[in-house]
């Protein structure tokens, strides 16, 4: 007996759309089943891809309404307990996390003692077990054997007493997956489970999902991008577009259909992937890359910067001089301080006062130098947390224009840029940006942020960061969720060709997701909090080259 069975069903996102026949897909979903692994049918594990994968995941997870009503059924779940049996994890949503100021992510917990933090409602262990939700009737005891196993498997043992908002992007993803599994669901639906994870963590999480699904005898449906590698243990692959489910079956068969439909995109992906593998970087001594000869016009300087949380060093004796107009990639496993470095620059990190950071020779110290707003007027930033910060009903174009509003910082979306609507009133660089991306913006002009696809949301946040023509462009996993690689490539080309004077600092675990760069800094995570530098072996970076 199937966990979920769909037969000849159309779907609507809201009840009011039933009468208007405003369906999510233009054609009915004819046939789709997810079974338990123990059934032996080979229909327990699915990867869903395509431009409408998120909509289909909503269908499987009972978020959308079927027409006819019995077009989708869950034969093994009772209606009263269905929500406990199905776990849907969509990383675009906050899932109960507070929309706190970004700085809180890094330090609000750090002055609490161990015992106090253990009892804090927002600790990692309380988040995972549900104890941070006073309305929850399904809190699981933290000493439960299954809870302890989850924490151990997903690398949360050492993090269990940390404040949940203090976790890095990758750590947060592991915590949210653990929370989704805490009540032993029978149908697990996860969109983009591996994005934001470093390669080692990706392999580990993939294997853990397989093990947990087999242990729970649960069906699992994963949302992946077209170019993503499908885990070996996933049996089936399905493709979803605006018309509905257009290909579904064993991976080898469905992959042929997808490759035929996306020849150009996959060809581009293979080309860019090959380029990234060909380009070599050679390690350079810190004293050489930080010398006044190498960096004769520094825009950013870290001098023995230091950040520590409850006795654990994150940055220690960190020195880095960044040449104006240079392009950098910041590497390191999850939780080693990559985003911390960027938030020191924007003054969104409370331990800025402990670190010597200069921008254009002006010291960034509390009560000294330029103000928080002065500095952020010159910085454009796109990072994963912004998805949860944007008001969901804000229109896409208002979010883009918000980047032109001065003196509000980079994390504030409450203010609209005021102008008549005539783009000739905008700065020259902004006019150029809007002209280049006019075709993409025309498609989403009348859509609200929450109605956009992941790729479109990523585009909007990138354009918001770039529209002010910033001196410094910070891209923290800015393109990590884009399944439209043609669009990603266009963004990369814009940076390379239209922003030659901008200093770019990018974080990304996958080579082809990161814009062209000449330098790499890698954080090692050893007790000395070591780091190393590397420079591109090629002497010249060609315009438009994508790695």
Query: Is residue 529 pLDDT above 60, yes or no?
Result: yes
Q: Which residue has the higher pLDDT, 76 or 348?
A: 76
Query: Is residue 339 pLDDT above 90, yes or no?
Result: no
Distance CA 355, CA 316 (A): 10
Q: Which residue has the higher pLDDT, 278 or 517?
A: 517
Closest CA to 49 of 246, 265, 206, 181: 246
Which token pair is 464? 């918001």
On the CB side of 286, CA atoms within 13 Å amount to 13
Q: How confident is the model at residue 110 (pLDDT cuts 50, 70, 90)?
A: very low
Backbone angles phi, psi at 414, to 5 degrees: -75, -20
Q: Across all residues in the chain, what is the average pLDDT?
A: 84
The answer to whether the CB of 368 falls within 8 A of the CB of 347 is: no
Summarised one tens digit per residue, pLDDT across range 46-78 is 999 988 999 999 999 999 999 999 999 999 887
What secondary structure letter does DSSP report for 185? -
Section 137-154 average pLDDT: 77
Query: Is residue 98 pLDDT above 50, yes or no?
Result: no
- Of 112-121, 204-213, 390-399, minimum mean pLDDT range: 112-121
Distance CA 541, CA 546 (A): 10
Highest mean pLDDT among 24-33, 179-188, 408-417, 519-528: 24-33
Q: Kindly tell me the burial class for residue 498, based on how many C-beta atoms sit within 10 Å of its own C-beta (0-12, 13-18, 19 or more).
A: middle
Section 427-435 average pLDDT: 95
Residue 476, sorted as left (phi over 0), alpha (psi -120 to 50) or beta, turns out to be beta
Q: Which residue has the higher pLDDT, 20 or 241?
A: 241
Section 531-541 average pLDDT: 76
pLDDT at residue 353, rounded to an integer: 60
Query: Is residue 261 pLDDT above 80, yes or no?
Result: no
pLDDT at residue 13, rounded to an integer: 87
Q: Does domain 276-536 have CATH number 3.30.160.20?
A: no
pLDDT at residue 96, rounded to an integer: 46
Highest mean pLDDT among 137-146, 291-300, 304-313: 291-300
Residue count (the chain): 547
Residues 6 or more apart from 457 whose CB is under 8 A from it? 92, 387, 449, 481
The 3-state DSSP class for residue 253 equals helix
Residues 6 or more apart from 445 whose CB is under 8 A from it? 395, 396, 397
pLDDT at residue 124, rounded to an integer: 87
What secondary structure letter does DSSP report for 91? T
pLDDT at residue 142, rounded to an integer: 59
Where do runs of H (alpha helix) occur along 113-250?
114-119, 124-129, 145-153, 169-181, 199-216
Section 143-148 average pLDDT: 82
Closest CA to 302 of 316, 312, 288: 316
pLDDT at residue 401, rounded to an integer: 95
Which token pair is 152? 């151990």
On the CB side of 98, CA atoms within 13 Å amount to 17
In the chain the first and final C-alpha atoms are separated, in Å, by: 49
pLDDT at residue 75, rounded to an integer: 92
**DSSP element (H, E) containing 89:** strand 86-90
Q: Which residue carries 């000449």 as its tokens?
A: 518
Q: Which residue carries 């994390």 as its tokens?
A: 411
Sheet holding 362-363, edge to edge: 312-323, 298-309, 356-359, 362-363
pLDDT at residue 17, rounded to an integer: 62
Residues 6 or more apart from 82 whose CB is under 8 A from it? 62, 74
pLDDT at residue 18, rounded to an integer: 66
What secondary structure letter does DSSP report for 461? H
Tell me whether the omega of the peptide bond preceding residue 252 falls within 30 degrees of 0, making it cis: no
- Of 280-294, 346-360, 484-498, minimum mean pLDDT range: 346-360
Closest CA to 409 of 440, 373, 442, 438: 373
Summarised one tens digit per residue, pLDDT across range 360-418 is 776 665 555 567 788 889 999 998 878 878 988 899 999 999 999 999 888 889 899 98
- Of 75-79, 225-229, 248-252, 363-367, minimum mean pLDDT range: 363-367
pLDDT at residue 101, rounded to an integer: 40
**SS3 of the chain: helix, strand, coil, percent, to 5:** 35, 20, 40
CA angle, corner 515, sides to 405 and 329, nearest 5? 95
Q: Which residue has the higher pLDDT, 210 or 154?
A: 210
Distance CA 401, CA 463 (A): 9
Q: Which residue has the higher pLDDT, 455 or 469?
A: 469
Q: What residue ranges do the domains of the chain occupy?
A: 276-536
Where do runs of H (alpha helix) occur along 154-237?
169-181, 199-216
The answer to whether the CB of 200 falls within 8 A of the CB of 167 is: no
Residue 310, sorted as left (phi over 0), alpha (psi -120 to 50) or beta, turns out to be left
Residue 275 has a CB neighbour count (10 Å cut-off) of: 15
Q: How confident is the model at residue 475 (pLDDT cuts 50, 70, 90)?
A: very high
Which token pair is 531? 């780091």
Q: How confident is the model at residue 121 (pLDDT cuts 50, 70, 90)?
A: low
Q: How confident is the model at residue 447 (pLDDT cuts 50, 70, 90)?
A: very high
Taking CB atoms within 8 Å and a gap of at least 24, the contacts of 112-118 are: 112/163, 114/161, 117/161, 117/162, 117/163, 118/161
């Amino acid at each position: 007996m199937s966990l979920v069975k769909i037969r000849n069903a159309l779907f609507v996102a809201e009840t009011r759309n039933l009468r208007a026949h405003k369906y999510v897909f233009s054609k009915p979903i004819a046939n789709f089943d997810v079974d338990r692994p123990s059934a032996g049918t080979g229909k327990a594990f699915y990867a869903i891809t395509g431009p409408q994968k998120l909509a289909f995941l909503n269908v499987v997870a009972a978020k959308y309404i079927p027409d006819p009503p019995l077009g989708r059924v869950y034969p093994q779940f009772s209606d009263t307990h269905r929500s406990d049996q199905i776990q849907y994890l969509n990383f675009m949503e906050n899932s109960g996390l507070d929309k706190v100021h970004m700085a809180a992510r890094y330090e609000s917990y750090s002055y609490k003692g161990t015992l106090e933090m253990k009892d804090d409602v927002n600790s990692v262990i309380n988040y995972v077990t549900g104890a941070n939700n006073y309305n929850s009737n399904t809190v699981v005891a933290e000493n439960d054997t299954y809870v302890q196993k989850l924490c151990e498997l997903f690398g949360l043992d050492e993090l269990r007493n940390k404040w949940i908002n203090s976790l890095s992007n990758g750590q947060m993803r592991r915590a949210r997956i653990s929370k989704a599994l805490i009540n032993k669901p029978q149908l697990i639906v996860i969109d983009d489970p591996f994005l934001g994870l470093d390669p080692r963590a990706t392999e580990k999480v993939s294997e853990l999902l397989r093990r947990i699904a087999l242990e729970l005898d649960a069906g699992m449906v994963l949302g992946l991008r077209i170019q993503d590698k499908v885990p070996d243990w996933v049996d089936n692959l399905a493709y979803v577009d605006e018309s509905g489910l257009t290909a579904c079956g064993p991976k080898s068969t469905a992959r042929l259909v997808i490759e035929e439909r996306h020849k150009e995109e996959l060809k581009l992906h293979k080309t860019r992937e090959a380029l990234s593998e060909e380009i070599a970087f050679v390690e350079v001594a810190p004293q050489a890359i930080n010398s006044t000869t190498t960096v004769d016009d520094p825009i950013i300087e870290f001098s023995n910067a230091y950040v520590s949380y409850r006795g654990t060093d994150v940055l220690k004796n960190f020195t880095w001089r960044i040449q104006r107009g240079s392009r950098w990639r910041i590497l390191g496993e999850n939780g080693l301080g990559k985003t911390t470095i960027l938030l020191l620059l924007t003054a969104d990190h409370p331990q800025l006062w402990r670190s010597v950071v200069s921008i254009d020779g002006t010291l960034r110290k509390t009560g000294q130098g330029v103000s928080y707003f002065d500095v952020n007027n010159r910085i454009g930033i796109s990072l994963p947390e912004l998805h949860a910060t944007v008001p969901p009903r804000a229109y896409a174009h208002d979010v883009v224009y918000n980047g032109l509003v001065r003196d509000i910082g980079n994390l504030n979306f409450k203010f609209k840029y005021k102008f008549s609507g005539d783009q000739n009133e905008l700065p020259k660089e902004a006019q150029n940006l809007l002209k280049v991306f006019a075709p993409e913006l025309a498609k989403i002009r009348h859509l609200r942020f929450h109605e956009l696809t992941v790729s479109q949301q990523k585009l909007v946040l990138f354009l918001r960061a770039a529209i002010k023509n910033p001196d410094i462009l910070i891209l923290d996993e800015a393109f990590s969720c884009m399944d439209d690689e043609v669009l990603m490539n266009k963004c990369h080309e814009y940076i390379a060709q239209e922003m030659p004077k901008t200093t770019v600092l990018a974080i990304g675990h996958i080579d082809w997701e990161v814009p062209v760069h000449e330098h790499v800094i890698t954080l090692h995570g050893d007790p000395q909090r070591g780091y190393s530098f590397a420079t591109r072996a090629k002497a010249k970076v060609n315009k438009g080259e994508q790695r």
